Amino acid sequence: MEDKTNDKTEVKSAPEAPAGPGGARLFVTSSPHFLNNESVPKIMHTVVLALFPAMAASVYFFGFRALLLYAICIGACLLTEYAFQKYMKRPIKIYDGSAIITGILLAMTLPPGFPVFGAILGSVFAIGVGKQLFGGLGFNIFNPALLGRAFLMATYPVLTTTWVEPRTVQKAVDAVSAATPLALMKFEGKLTPILDLFTGNVAGSLGETSAIAILIGGLFLRYKGYVNWKLPLGYLGSMAIFSGIFWLIDPSKYPDPLFHLFAGGAMLGAWFMVTDMVTSPTTDIGQWIFAITGGIMAVVIRLFGGLPEGVMYSILFMNAFVPLLNKHTRPRVFGAIKAKAE
Amino acid sequence: MAENNGYSLWYEFKKGLWQDIPPFRLVLGTCPTLAVTNSVINGFAMGMATLFVLLGSNIIISAIRKYVAPQVRIAAYVVIIALLVTVADMFLAAFFPPVSKALGPYVPLIVVNCIILGRAEAYAQKNPVVPSIMDALGIGIGFTMSLMVMGFIREILGFGSLFNIKLIPPSLFEPWIVMILPAGAFLVFGTLIAVVNYISSRKSAASDKA
Amino acid sequence: MNPVTKMFMNLVGVGVVSGVILAAVFYKADPMIQANKEKELKEAIFVVLPEARDYKILKKSLGQEEFTMYAGLNEAGEPIGLAFKADGGGFQGNIGVMVGLDLDYLKLKGIRILDQLETPGLGNRIANPEFEDQFKGIEIKPKVEYIKNRKPEKPNQIQSITGATISSDAVVKNINNAIEKALKSFPTKEDLLAAEKAVKPASATVKAKEATDGGK
């Protein structure tokens, strides 16, 4: 697989790509792009750093159990990556940090009481099927962590939807089971106070409860320049506007936009999954379409679908359109003449 | 045909079991392969119903191949296949109501199973009755085996049971519900195609060396 | 032979022969298929009306549609309850429920999930006896309700399945809709008993002797 990059550009360059001066072709390639001293490991390790506040918040709210799940998922992801790369005779690149991120993100989407064997299974699926079978980092169509989570959701529908009250795991032997704010809203019409949603003092998956912690991490990434601001802004913005329309129509039936932004996986998804460099479009228009449609999808699933939460499926769904978006939103090269329709 | 009957008949039978095994090599008949294989019993019943229809259609079509005008052959074949499928459907509903209920609309859907019309077009209409029987048996048994393998994997992972008997206690193994859902069918199907391709590429590599 | 004639003969021949064979098979198989269906129906009725030994089919047209109900009969041939099928959408497909109701229209005698396509391991737990048995003795007035994660407090409540609220909700909704239809068909017990007297038990077609006893 030494000629990995060549493969990639060949796939991306459509036959009508115009020849530039000197016969060189202009390529639109998938990120991550390398600029001066940036490298994949550096980007990835910064992302891990950005995930720290959310991890700390989950350990505070869900205790030792959260730490255990992070360790299991990271370990299983690294091992799977190693095993696949070894078996497929690819260069071993487990130190680039991408598997660590997948492990952390997968653990963040799991309920605190999730069993260890399930976490291992999800990690193996995320890295094995979600990433390595597609060809490794840069070739995967879907966000591996979300794919692992979707697989677990179908495999263990009960375990993935059994939640506990925050700060009960460490106090009592039996954690108090509870419903997530989104489930409360959907099935019982109860709204959770925004402050609890903001700090994370609610039932939910490990990493998605504390909006403030994710926001800190996300803004740090933005400051570092690793996050394209269009993606989270488009996703959260379209969620807010679209849910706001329904809220204005009937405030008693539909929750307000702020609730949508802070409840469930919206924050985590918008800052760390929508922005995944590999599985988001490369062009400006493509990114806007990707993020805005994704946000609308998430609200549609939440309000009218069978499930209380729609962030995961909305992102996976939009991931599938990324190659199409890249192809059809490619900007015209300056000076190039539009091919005559014949 | 007469001089090397023994060899060729055996070949006609054998090719359906591996070389032309319908779902994995020809990628035909994938609809029932994905839809009804959440248990071994269902896979077996579906395979047998298909085998019956395939055998009947191959025999009849091969027998009448010289009398049917080529322009209307497809129409005639479809009527024959539909007849056999309806008979199979009624037979299951009369004698095995639970199986019939589990297979649901997929027994009537054998009509549009590409394997049946595929074998009629590709084989039975050009060959005598006896080789056509061997062809139908080989392909039909190959298909049944494929469905049972799919059913085996999906049942043991999805229910923790085999032949509807609980094998693994739930305390030891939490069944993977995904395996009995359509998504699991696609995962198992893809994995099995990969395995079959892997084995045959190994085989051909070995025969190239030899 | 003229090719057009040949084509014509081919298709007519295939069609006629197939038709004859199909008719013969149908003649043989149809009684058995009907018997299987009836057996299934009977079992479902006897599960939701445990004292029943026989049943009568009561039909009533409500506007456009015809609503079919079954009066369960005890050994003496007296009606002991009303059973009917409740159909409606679930999470993934139709959920068909057989509902057993007492003659005073006060309590459910039992329910049985006949058809469902809910998620295996989650929604399809509505077909588990633990869920079905909850409905025994539940009051139907004002209507059947479900609550989540708690033991039922009122006599008209059952507990929904954790993680499968939509499926549980669908079952309860179907039951309430069907009860409404049954009440519309026979607003009072007297209406029901009068209608029940007018028809013969289902077993009458099979066993002539019992029919004369049960039809009194």
pLDDT given at position C50: 81
Q: Which of C7, C26, C119 sits opposite B69 (nearest CB)?
A: C7
Whether B2 shows a pLDDT value over 90: the answer reads: no
How many domains in chain B? 1
In a domain, B17, yes or no: no
Is C10 an 8 Å CB contact of chain B? yes
Domain boundaries, chain C: 45-214
Q: Note the maximum CA span of chain B.
A: 63
Question: For a pLDDT cut of 70, what percent of chain B falls above it?
Answer: 95
Lowest mean pLDDT among A112-116, C12-16, C70-74, C121-125: C121-125
Phi, psi (5° rounding) for residue C146? -125, 150
Distance from the first to the final alpha carbon of chain B: 30
In a domain, A341, yes or no: no
- Outline where chain A has alpha helix (H): 4-12, 40-62, 64-87, 98-108, 116-128, 144-155, 181-183, 194-199, 211-224, 230-249, 257-262, 266-268, 284-304, 311-319, 322-328
Q: What percent of chain A has pLDDT over 70?
A: 82
C1 has a chain B CB within 8 A of its CB: no
What's the total number of domains in chain A?
1
Reply yes or no on whether the pLDDT at B55 is more than 90: yes
Contacts of B181 in chain A (CB under 8 A): 154
A14 touches chain C (CB under 8 A): no
> Which of A8-17, A138-147, C123-132 bottoms out in mean pLDDT, i.e. has the lowest?
A8-17
- Confidence category of residue C158, pLDDT binned at 50, 70, 90: confident
3-state secondary structure of A323: helix
Looking at chain C, the whole-number percentage of residues with pLDDT higher than 90 is 6
Q: How many CB pairs under 8 A join A and B?
A: 20
Cβ of B91 within 8 Å of Cβ of C29? The answer is: yes
The pLDDT score that the predictor gives to residue B188 is: 92
Q: What are phi and psi of C100, to 5 degrees?
A: -110, 130
Q: Does C26 touch chain B (CB under 8 A)?
A: yes
In this prediction the pTM is 0.78
Option in B177, B179, B187 nearest A157 (CB)? B177
Burial of B118 (0-12, 13-18, 19+ CB in 10 A): middle
> What residues of chain C lie within 8 A of the CB of A161, using their CB?
163
Pick among A84, A155, A316 to test the B interface (most B CBs inside 10 A):
A155
- What's the average model confidence in pLDDT over A130-143? 87
Mean pLDDT of the region B138-161: 88
User: CB contact, 8 Å: B83 with chain C?
Assistant: yes
Q: Which residues of B touch C122 (CB under 8 A)?
A: 177
Residue numbers in A near C162 (CB within 8 A): 158, 162, 177
Asked if residue B4 is part of any domain, the answer here is no
pLDDT single digits (tens) C131-143: 888 888 888 777 8
When the pLDDT of each residue in chain B is averaged and rounded to a whole number, the result is 84
pLDDT-wise least confident of A48-52, A196-200, A210-214, B49-53: A196-200
**Could you tell me which residue, B158 or B133, shows the higher pLDDT?**
B133
Please indicate whether, in this complex, the C-beta atoms of C148 and A306 are within 8 angstroms of each other. no
Predicted confidence at residue C170, as pLDDT, reads 86
User: pLDDT band at residue A340, thresholds of 50, 70 and 90?
Assistant: low
User: What is each CA distance from A240 to A151, A183, A211, A237, B42, in whole angstroms?
Assistant: 28, 19, 15, 5, 48
Give the H or E element holding residue C71.
Answer: strand C65-73
Q: Does C142 touch chain B (CB under 8 A)?
A: no
Highest mean pLDDT among A169-173, B168-172, C147-151, C183-187: C183-187
Neighbours of C32 (CB within 10 A): 15
State the Cα torsion A218-A302-A205-B159 to the nearest 10°: -140
- What was the pLDDT predicted at A35? 53
Residue range A22-35: average pLDDT? 55
Query: Which pLDDT band holds residue C189 (cuts at 50, 70, 90)?
Result: confident
- For residue A158, which residues of chain C lie inside 8 Å, CB to CB? 121-122, 162-163
- Is the Cβ pair B176, A155 closer than 8 Å? yes
Residue-wise pLDDT tens digits, A239-265: 999 999 988 988 888 888 888 888 888
Q: Which residues of B touch C28 (CB under 8 A)?
A: 94
A170 interfacial to chain C (CB closer than 8 Å): no
pLDDT of residue A8: 40
Nearest CA in chain A to B187: A129
Which partners does chain B have (≥3 C-beta pairs < 8 Å)? A, C
Output the pLDDT for position B38.
Answer: 80
In this model, does residue A24 exceed pLDDT 90? Answer: no
pLDDT score recorded for residue A42: 82
Read off the tokens for B57: 């259609």
Whether C118 has a pLDDT exceeding 70, the answer reads: yes
- For chain B, the three-class secondary structure string (H helix, E strand, C coil) is CCCCHHHHHHHHHHCCCCCCCHHHHHCCCHHHHHHCCCCHHHHHHHHHHHHHHHHHHHHHHHHCCCCCCHHHHHHHHHHHHHHHHHHHHHHHHHHCHHHHHHHHHHCHHHHHCHHHHHHHHHHHCCCCHHHHHHHHHHHHHHHHHHHHHHHHHHHHHHCCEECCEECCCCCCCCCCHHHHCHHHHHHHHHHHHHHHHHHHHHHHHHHHHC
Residue A71: the pLDDT is 92
Enumerate neighbours of C (3 or more CB pairs within 8 A): A, B
Compare CB distances from A156 to B177, B181, B184 and report the shortest one's residue. Answer: B177
pLDDT at A10: 40
Average pLDDT for C96-109: 84
| Contact residues, chain C to chain A, C-beta under 8 Å | 91, 119, 121-122, 148-149, 162-163, 165-166
Task: Closest CB to A156: pick one of B174, B181, B183.
Answer: B174
Residues of A in contact with C91 (CB under 8 A): 306
Average pLDDT, chain A: 80
The residue segments making up the domain with residue A107 are 36-328
Q: What is the residue-averaged pLDDT of chain C?
A: 79
Alpha-carbon gap: C15 to the closest alpha carbon of chain B (Å):
7
Residue of C11, C14, C33 lying closest to B90 (CB–CB)? C33
Report the alpha-carbon distance of residue B3 to residue A122 in Å, rounded. Answer: 59
Position B21 in a domain: no
Domain that holds residue B56: 28-209
Least confident among A247-256, B79-88, B182-191: A247-256
Average pLDDT over residues C131-158: 80
CB contact under 8 A, B76 and C10: yes
Residue A90 is part of a domain; what is its CATH number?
1.10.3430
- Do C121 and B175 make contact, defined as CB atoms within 8 angstroms? yes
User: Which of A125-134, A168-177, B6-15 shows the lowest mean pLDDT across its residues?
Assistant: A168-177
* Interface residue of C8, C14, C16, C42 to substitute, partner B, most B CBs within 10 Å: C14
Instruction: State residue B189's pLDDT score.
Output: 92
**How far does C192 lie from chain B, in Å, by closest CA?**
33
What is the interface pTM, i.e. ipTM, of the complex? 0.79
pLDDT tens digit string along B85-95? 999 989 988 88
Q: Give residue A33's pLDDT.
A: 58
Question: Is C20 within 8 Å of chain B by CB?
Answer: no
- CB contact B112 to C (< 8 Å): no
Chain C residue whose CA is closest to A160: C163
Lowest mean pLDDT among A155-159, B149-153, B184-188: A155-159
d(CA A282, CA A275): 11
Q: Cβ–Cβ of A154/B174 closer than 8 Å?
A: no
Give the B window 145-164 contacts with C, CB below 8 Å: 158
Q: How confident is the model at residue C54 (pLDDT cuts 50, 70, 90)?
A: confident
C212 pLDDT tier (thresholds 50, 70, 90): very low
Of B120-134, C124-138, C147-161, give the lowest mean pLDDT range.
C147-161
Q: Cβ contacts (< 8 Å) between B179 and chain C: which residues?
A: none
